[in-house]
Structure 1
Amino acid sequence: MAFYFDQFEQRRPEPPLPYSPVLEAVWQCLFVIALVLGAWYVHWRWTASLNYDALWYAIPLVIAETGAYIGLILFAFNLWKVKDYPRRPPPQFISECTRDEAAEQRPLKVDVFFPSYDEDPELVRLSVRDAKRVTYPHPIELNIYVLDDGRRPSMKQMADEEGVGYFTRSNNIGFKAGNMRNAMEQTSGDFIVICDADTRPFPTILEHTLGYFRDPDVAWVQTPQWFFDLPEGKPLPVALQRRLGRPGYWLGRGVERLIGPIRLGEDPFVNDPKMFYDLIQRRRNWANASFCCGAGSIHRRDAVMEAALKGFADEVERKSQRQLKQMQRLTGEKSADTSTAGLLRQGMAQEEELTPYRFHVSEDIYTSIVLHSDPHRKWKSVMHPEVESKMLSPQDLLSWTIQRFKYAGGTLDIAVHDNPVMRPGLSLPQRLMYLTTVWSYLGGVWNLIFLIAPLVYLFTAIAPVSAYSIDFYKHILPFLVATEIAFMAAYWGISSYKAKTNYLSFFPINLRAIWTVMRGQKIKFPTTPKDRQEGNFFHLVMPQFVVIMLTLLGLLYAWLQYLLFAADYTLNGLIVNTFWGMNNVVALSGIVLAAFWQPEPAAASTAELAAT
């Protein structure tokens, strides 16, 4: 059976960014300068710049700027330094991975889980076959299991044909987390490799990661996720030739000679996760705060089960104490006897379920928080820098939206119901790292204000500041320039512009996630489609499109008013808000165009370029 990604099978991931202590010192210095200038700017905004004739406009904007500045501080803390865990040789016996002196001298047992619900069995077959090719320098007991929540005979047949295990169940309680719990009850591997249905592990995944578990406190290792099917786009000369003929081709070549190669239609959804794994997650290692992201992670079974048992005992005790207090209120007794308390605990234990992975849409990060906060074990997490598997990316805007909403909603739901910032057992750096993640999803609030603010000025000539004066430029420009330079140094080796614009255009999904959690609604568990969804997705970007149209209309209206009717606009105000508005338009246009994106075979554009 042929798949669209067959043409990309020979792609290989980029190596992780090389560590440079000199570059690290440079960006730390630049970050400090940017943060000091930012504090100066925010202080000035609150104390000396507000337009008191329009506080309804000025106050929300300065609050948004303050929220963004707090996010900048947290992000700078996240990116502060690189401290990779040292690679250690792969262990030969399980006794090398534990403190138990009585541990038996036997080879390691590893289970590979492929949870699935509605994915094509032939797609899962590719993942299973790659898992069967995993190698290890020592004898090892490797067992592969397909965990089928879809209860499909075709999936069972595929597993039988490939000679791997197959588990299913009569219900879908707990979704992916419940699916894995069901598998753990029937397996006994020392380590568990978590894969998605489309996760195709490289042969080296165990050889490169199991060495970390020589430290008996390492609970899990996360490897970077890599989408090997990201669209490469069309070279600019080819794209222009299609529209303008031969002159378009030469125009494109001329532009590329000036500013370098340009490809149109390249990864329209900004799916490339290299920035997240190679920068954000990797730089949390020093604080023992990189969190599990599910697919491509390797877990110590004992750590997961120990945390589950402690969580089970704590929940039983909590519910028992609540029942005892209710009984005491009814009976008027000041205390309950020991036998009654024991019976209540026994009853609660029978009702409560033991869940190795939390029944949650973001069970991966939830499990990370539980393990990191264990005050007795102080479990460690490792972000392994090298890619050890390949996956499929969302191929349309609908799939992308489903995935991003789950990420945002799941994280915010955890923040509301089990806030890691206040959770006992976490260190201060860990709390700040988790706060950084939560804070980033709150950004939809101030991003909306940043998108609306220039519209207010363009349509009303009302400014949020007392004046667009030299004092304004003196405070804002050094802060903006220093911040951009600091991020250039911090992101050195990775293109960051698309990621920043994508974050701004993400605001409707963030706001919907915030509203869903605030209303107390549960975040649903839909699987991200692995096939391209056909249809018109323009309705998914209507908010961004409306902002673009209003901004362009506002620019036309404001400049005409200024030039023809001598309205209350100032030239400085128009210049500032024109740049601001156009930045918003450019940032939002990418996601709007992505709604109409259609994939093209990579070979087509290459062949066209060669033919010319």
Structure 2
Amino acid sequence: GFFFDPKVAFVQTPHWFFNPDPFERNLRTNGRIPVGNELFYKVLQKGNDFWNAAFFCGSAAVIRKKYALEIGGIATETVTEDCHTAFRLHSLGYKSIYYDKIMVAGLAPENFSSYVGQQVRWARGMAQILRIENPVFNPKLNLSIPQRICYFSATSHFFYGYPRLMYAIAPTLFLLFSINPIRGLGLETLAYALPHLFLSLNTNYITYKHVRFSFWNEIFEFVMAFQAGYVTMMALINPSLGSFNVTDKDMTLIKREFSWENFDWRSVQGLLGVTAIVVIGLASVPFWLILRPEDSEAVLVNAMWCVFNLILLLAALLVAFEQPQERTSHRLRRQLGATVYSYDYNSEQNQAWSGITVDISEIGARMWLEGKATLPEELELELVGDFGARVILEAQVVMVKSIGDNQTELAVKFINLTQAQLDNLALVIYSDVKEWYSQKREYVDRPLESFGFLATGIIRVFQEFQSSKSSSNMLRKRIRASAQVYWQGDFYLGAATEFGTTSLRLELDNITTSNAKLLEPQNLERIKQEEPIVGLLLSQELTSPSRERLLAQIVSIELLSTQDDNNSAPSKVAIELSFPDQFQERQGAKIKELLRVLR
């Protein structure tokens, strides 16, 4: 009903992103630290709205077409066309509404270079608006004084670049060139500055403790200091410079292990130079203390300042170190009703377990089930969303873990999805999500803890990346069936003891017959190294006339018992095999039939 007011030109709602931005992912904050846009949408935009100065943010908004046409449509003179358009609508006396209810979900920049590109565009565009429109002193604008102040605050925000760099370089001027940026003695200066810093920090804590944690604003600004400083200066000199660029989204890193190739050197080369200067400044401290002991107070004060700056600079640099990304699709935290249906081949009965999802994406989900579930590798899953939206899917178990006697944790991957199922799944996941409406952060800012968490980010970033392991061996059907393994022109007799849709376990008694051969020690070593693809003949009985032929890859070999002579062939060997994906289309139906009939 906002548009019943004829003066309302547009209604803006918050932006909410369900993927981690580069700060959250690369510094591994795991949701403990508010992301960059929370301060704007939860505090600043509300303040702008109080003074009728909330501006259009490019999406998640509705604009009255008639008024947009009055100003010539979307403003194209600057690269932040959204804010510029809102500015012109306000300058004609129209109103804006900021409706603080999350109604859409989007993607934040996926990697650091995309984030830098986005911020550079915003910095340039805001400086262009300041230069072209002059919101404070332009008498032609029909803006109130509070509106002028709000727009001046927004358009001048990105001028933090060079001041932030000077803050980092200031103590090194003394340590390297004896240039004291602050007139006064060491401890006296510290006694004067510390109360001011403490009160300033406490003021920010009281105001922003839920949306911007202490010391993290420095990280956001250090990361963009060089780029923001340069583009804002150039926009003031020549506002026509620069072109519009669309922020890349939904990009996935190829490498899934740590590599210095994942470090975005180009985006932070200036920051690397500043960090090197700070390190050199700290290296000069021992020489000062030995050669100029009379200046020890000033030296120690500037050294502490450098150490503080170095911690912030290192954290800012590590944002450019792209972390491995295991998921191919981002998970959304949603609590949906879930029911798992399966056929237990061991008990030969249909079973069902109910539960609730923990997180979900368009390709998989994680959930908690009631009771201790015994599940096959493939099952049927029903998900129920808000207001009756539901979908039934086929799913493959990725992980299953019993939690005590009353709960089971289950992770699945959706398979064989039709277009209709994809459409229904989208409705279940994204439609009318009540959890989005009132985003409340679990953690509250505590300045010392915030700084400690920031400093330990250096350790978190370099922790060894461990991908989650599949536990498919827990899901296989226990059987006792005849098996023959063909490899290098020979075959070996054994028994299949566990069988699933993606893997199986064989046990070879390693006894010789008129046709079968023994697995000699040298062959075992060769198989372990090569992990070859072998042929299989499977049937319930060795003499059965109908045997299924399959191809499988050897994954591992385990010696169950050996002969007394170390050089002789082992008496019993267990072999783990997996069915290669490239043969799935050809032998998938055979595997499912064997899973049904083998006992």
TM-score, reference length from structure 2: 0.50
Larger Rg belongs to: 2
Whose relative contact order is higher, 1 or 2, with alpha carbons under 8 Å and at least 6 apart? 1
Question: 1 or 2, which has the higher strand percentage?
Answer: 2
TM-score, reference length from structure 1: 0.49
Question: 1 or 2, which has the higher helix percentage?
Answer: 1
